[in-house]
Structure 1
Amino acid sequence: MDRGLFIDGAWRFPEALERFDITDPASGEPVGSTLLADAETVDYAVAAAETAAPVMAGLRAEERAAILERAADLIETRVEDMAVLLTREQGKPVADNRKEILFGAKVLRYYAAEALRIGGSLRPAMAAEIKNIVSYHPVGVAAAIVPWNYPVDLYCWKAGPAIAAGCPLIVKSPPETPLAIGMLVDCLNEAGVPDGALADLPGHGPVAGAALARHPRVRVISATASIPAGQDIMRNAAGNLKKLCLELGGNAPLVVMADADLEAAARAAHRRAFSNMGQICITVNRILVDRRVHNEFVAILADLAEGTQLGHGVDAGVEYGPVLNQSVIARVEAHQRDAVDKGARLAAGGKRPAGETYDSGFFYRPTVIDDAPADSLPMTSETYGPLAAVAAFDTDAQMIAMANSLEYGLAAYLYGADLERLWGVADRLEFGGVGINVNDVSELQAPFGGWKMSGIGRELGPEGLDAYLEPKLVKMRVRRA
């Protein structure tokens, strides 16, 4: 499958552009390719979006909602083909991709409903003859940067609120995983997004992403990216003071109290650490365990890691697949080596699996590092791969200090039986989302985003609309009888 760029209501194939080859990370077999957008392409897409902006703004809320509902219907009819294609290009098992894609459809339906709730208010005035009318309006041309780990779902996180608010949207999609996105774009187009109001431009961040971020006629940019990429976006966006919504990196701690159900906590840690092979912004990187149950917990987690069956994600029953590419394996090995050199113990994994099944793919065993020093790479940097590091704590104060010690502040997890105590700990954690006896902090109707260096702004929930809307005050003097 060789795809082009979607601009102004049609797929386009400019011959002068570079093409990027996509291979199956489980087998090394070719899957397809995509054209890569450049700065000139971005200009073309922005011009089309500017033409479409008044059309989008002029759609009634019911019309914008209908587009999103129809797109969700189309996604649901094509989910199996999309899921298999996404597995071929990204590696996640089909079951995980099916879940991702269907959640993306739910996001579109949620913002279809939110489109009908964008209203305004009559605010109090300091004088009796004054009426203060506050209304909300689309900000204008919006841009989005989507990552490769959950490309369809996170595309919907941005397209849903942009369309609901009445903004044309230009997306820099990931060159590593653009094929299932192409099917999503077809769904949105067939659902009735006006020509020019949606552009999809696979490309590299320093080229297409930077061109969007610095473009003077793009009014808002929403990106899911690493912290360095987010910093570059922010610098480039400063030229015209773009609105920003940035969901950036994380190094999530999972805390296990002495009174926790250790089996349940270990299963939750295993799934959140190794689902999608740890290539998730809210994955569990650091596991902080009460010293009284530390050894028992590590033994359970190590057994789970050693028992994890890897395979090609298109095969029935496979729950854990490959990582995306060799750079992920190299990073995991570097973090593992740094921790062990500083005194940590390898409790599970730490190597590539043996066997013909794995020889052509980017497979790595789920890895558990015990007694990880506080200054080791897994405890201080985002591994973004199948590695979890464990350290013990003695007091709540020590544990909270350890959890809060980094620049990251996206997600944290707490496991224990004393909910009053856990709630008190959660209040003191510097993270945008805290899960108590759950290993996920994303919720359709609640805001998702980070504190500190993990981001600016929020996605999901009604807060997800904020980046795409501008408030306006109309202050009016009225005639009094």
Structure 2
Amino acid sequence: MEIKKMFINGKWVDAISGQTRDIINPFNQEVIATVTEGNASDTKAAIAAARKAFDQGDWANAPATERGAIVRRIAELIERDKEELANLESLDTGKTVEESRVDMDDIAGVFRYYAELADKDGGEMIDSPIPNTVSKVVREPVGVCGQITPWNYPLLQASWKLAPALATGNTLIMKPSEITPLTTVKVFELMEEAGVPAGVANLVLGAGHTVGAELSENKNVELISFTGGIETGKKIMQAASVNVKKLALELGGKNPNIVFADADFETAIDQAMNAVFFHAGQICSAGTRLIIEEKVHDKFVAALVERVKNIKLGSGFDEDTQMGPLISREHLEKVENYVETGIREGATLVVGGQRPEDPALQNGFFYLPTIFTDCTSSMSIVQDEAFGPVITVEKFTTEEEAIKLANDSIYGLAGGVWTNDIAKAERCVAKMRMGTVWINDFNLYFPHAPWGGFKQSGIGRELGKLGLEEYTETKHILQNLKPEPINWF
């Protein structure tokens, strides 16, 4: 089996140590690829290449239209190789190939969006109050950027970081998750084909405690963009203080989905399932906290349970499959412990709560879609991110109580409100402390709108113009058109 390599300074290279890692298909635990396994030494080499490429200035100072054209070409190549990329993503993550095809369309859209923005900001003239002076504000690239992506949406999350960083003239080192690196390797091949210059974009494969730690601590890295767990995010913040790096952190969520009695019942049921069971709930914005008005609570739960019982688990390449496996044995055991905790805390397990008995699924990391009722905000299963196919159900009687429950979390990434009363929806949205709130929908996004959270869900934003600005520094330029002595001294 060919060993997938890292991409440093325009060349595909093995790890200095010679170490490798097998990549496992979570559906059946088969080895689907072997990749080189980098460490701090490889990371330092990649940082040095990115540093040199940035300091030379060829990429940062290139006309923005040229950078935009290359980013646009990457989008075209992703579209060309969409099917190959989707198959790789499904092999790597276990998600259905149809989900992966949709992801590839979204990914190409992200690159295309930032390609179009690349040359749109020529700076801002400020009306100077000082006679004979001209004042201008411009945005310049941050410099060398470290980018660390998660295992759940490997290439989608990579696109959110790569496209704006390249469009604004930065150089970068990307570290994908060590367990799902295959589509990121492939997109670096496409970036090379598109004409990204040597040293501008570098790829290091390896574990977070080696590669990620070096990126976070190294003084030649000026920005870290990280998507992942909150505890790792805290460690990155501490490490980044070495040289006061800029930070863009997306650290997950425990996202409330509020259903009022006047909502469209069938649509709310359907969307409550979509909010959680796509990709087996391994989504940072999953609506895992279902908060239902008491008037419709019992009816809603009963209908939801019947629908959940019929979810078909299986291979992502089976067209009948609706939900694939969890990513790894370790993560499966984490979800199992989470469910066991819920039972101990007194929540009522109404469906799921175990691995499937189907013999065809025994080699994979599958877990049945699960629902808990009789949950309260004091329970850890309501507060902690499960990152699996588990819904906790809470009950409310008043609008104020619903909002209080929704905000009772250290997280603030996303949330939803279901009601046909638009005034009520607007009141709720105004008081919900989250970066994205959907009204009568859940989990829709597009590259034009910013993404990120309040509270401990993170710092900064991805996507939209704000996602582009994360990769820039603001510079004020003041020119005196008529300099003369001040004669102060």
Matched ranges for 1:110-149 at <5 A: 110-149=113-152
Shift of 1:441: 4.9
* 1:184 maps onto 2:172 in alignment: no
Alignment map for 1:147-296 (pairs within 5 Å): 147-296=150-299
1:436-459, CA deviations, whole angstroms, 9 ceiling, x for partnerless residues? 111115321111000000010000
Structure 2 SS opposite 1:45: helix
Query: Are the counterparts in 1 of residues 6 and 185 from structure 2 also a CA contact under 8 Å?
Result: no
Q: Relative to structure 1, is the Cα distance of residues 78 and 227 closer, same or farther in structure 2, using a 3 angstrom cutoff?
A: same
Checking the alignment, whether the CA contact within 8 Å between 2:15 and 2:38 is kept in structure 1 is no
Q: How far 1:479 sits from its partner (Å)?
A: 3.7
Given that 1:285 and 1:378 are in contact with CA atoms closer than 8 Å, whether structure 2 keeps it comes out as no
Per-residue deviation, residues 397-426 of structure 1 (Å, max 9, x unmatched) = 111111111110000111111011111111
Partner of 1:106: 109
Q: TM-score, normalised by structure 2?
A: 0.96
Deviation digits for residues 119-161 of structure 1, max 9, x if unmatched? 2011121212111111111111111001110011111100000
* Cross-structure match for 1:13: 14
Partner of 2:486: none
Q: Deviations over 1:15-48 (max 9, x none)?
A: 5243221111111111012122211111111111
Contact 1:90–1:177 (Cα < 8 Å) also in 2: yes
Q: Match for 1:345 among 338, 344, 348?
A: 348
Quick one: which of 396, 403, 424 aligns to 2:406? Answer: 403
Counterpart of 2:44 in structure 1: which amino acid?
D
1:57 partner SS: coil
SS at match of 2:411: coil
Q: What is the CA deviation profile of residues 184-227 of structure 1, one whole-angstrom value per residue up to 9, with x for unaligned ones?
A: 11111110100010111122111111100111011111110111
Q: Return the offset for 1:55.
A: 1.7
User: In 2, distance between residues paired with 1:120 and 1:15?
Assistant: 43
Structure 1 residues 38-72: Cα deviation after superposition (integer angstroms, max 9, x where no partner): 11111111111112111211211111011111111
Q: For the residues of structure 1 that align with 2:233 and 2:444, how far apart are their CA atoms?
A: 21
Counterpart amino acid of residue 378 in structure 2: D
Deviates more, 1:139-148 or 1:349-358: 349-358
Seen in structure 2, the aligned counterparts of structure 1 residues 352 and 251 have a Cα distance that, compared at 3 Å, is same
1:49 paired residue number: 50
Alpha carbon RMSD of aligned pairs, Å? 1.3
Matched residue SS, 1:70: helix
Contact 1:433 1:441 (8 Å CA) reproduced: no
Q: Contact 1:46/1:170 (CA < 8 Å) preserved in 2?
A: yes
More displaced stretch, 331-340 vs 160-169: 331-340
Q: Given that residues 312 and 320 in structure 2 are in contact (C-alpha distance below 8 angstroms), is that contact kept between their aligned partners in structure 1?
A: no
Post-superposition Cα deviations, 1:266-309, rounded to whole Å, max 9, x if no partner, equal 11111111100010000112100001100011011111111100
With 143-152 and 345-354 compared, the bigger mean Cα shift is at: 345-354
Moved more, 324-333 or 79-88: 324-333
Q: CA-to-partner distance for each residue in 1:148-190, whole Å, 9 max, x for gaps?
A: 1001111110000001100011101111111121111111111
Q: In 2, distance between residues paired with 1:256 and 1:91?
A: 30
> Hey, what does 1:422 align to over in structure 2?
425
User: Is the Cα–Cα contact under 8 Å of residues 15 and 42 in structure 2 kept in the other structure?
Assistant: no
User: Which of these residues, 435, 438, 442, is aligned with residue 435 of structure 1?
Assistant: 438
Question: Which residue type is aligned with residue 370 of structure 1?
Answer: T
Q: What is aligned with 1:470? A: 473
Q: Could you tell me which residue of structure 2 aligns to residue 91 of structure 1?
A: 94
Instruction: Provide the rounded CA distance (Å) in 2 between the counterparts of 1:406 and 1:114.
Output: 35
Which residue of structure 2 lines up, in the alignment, with residue 31 of structure 1?
A: 32
Give me the whole-angstrom Cα distance separating, in 2, the residues matched to 1:169 and 1:319.
36
| Structure 2 Cα separation of the partners of residues 312 and 2 of structure 1 | 25
Aligned to 2:487: none
Distance in 2 of aligned mates of 1:340 and 1:390? 14
Question: Are the equivalent residues in 1 in contact too, given 2:106–2:156 (CA < 8 A)?
Answer: yes
After TM superposition, the structure 1 stretch with the greater mean CA deviation from structure 2, 438-447 or 73-82, is 438-447
Aligned equivalent of 2:390? 387
Q: For 1:63 and 1:55, locate their aligned partners in 2 and report how far apart those are by CA, in whole Å.
A: 11
Provide the rounded CA distance (Å) in 2 between the counterparts of 1:286 and 1:329.
20
* Aligned amino acid, residue 20 of structure 2: R
Alignment of 1:63-102 (within 5 A): 63-102=66-105
How far off its partner does 1:465 sit? 1.1
Say whether the 8 Å CA contact 1:52–1:195 is kept in structure 2. Answer: yes
Q: Deviations over 1:226-273 (max 9, x none)?
A: 111111111111111111111112000100001011211111111111
Runs of 4+ that moved beyond 6 A: none
How many matched pairs?
480
Contact 2:16–2:42 under 8 Å retained in 1: no
Aligned partners of 2:268, 2:206: CA distance in 1, in Å?
40
| CA displacement, residues 85-126 of structure 1 (integer Å, 9 cap, x when unaligned) | 111111011011111122111100000011011220111212
Question: Which whole-Å CA distance do the structure 2 matches of 1:292 and 1:20 have between them?
Answer: 53
Residues in 2 aligned to 1:15 and 1:430: alpha-carbon distance in whole angstroms: 46
> Could you list the runs of 5+ residues in structure 2 that have no partner in the other structure?
484-489
Q: Describe how 1:279-358 pairs up with structure 2 within 5 A.
A: 279-358=282-361
2:276 and 2:286 in contact (8 A); partners too:
yes
Confirm or deny: 8 A CA contact 1:338 1:376 kept in the other structure. no
Identity %: 36
Distance 1:377 1:327, change over 3 A: farther
Normalization by structure 1: what TM-score? 0.98
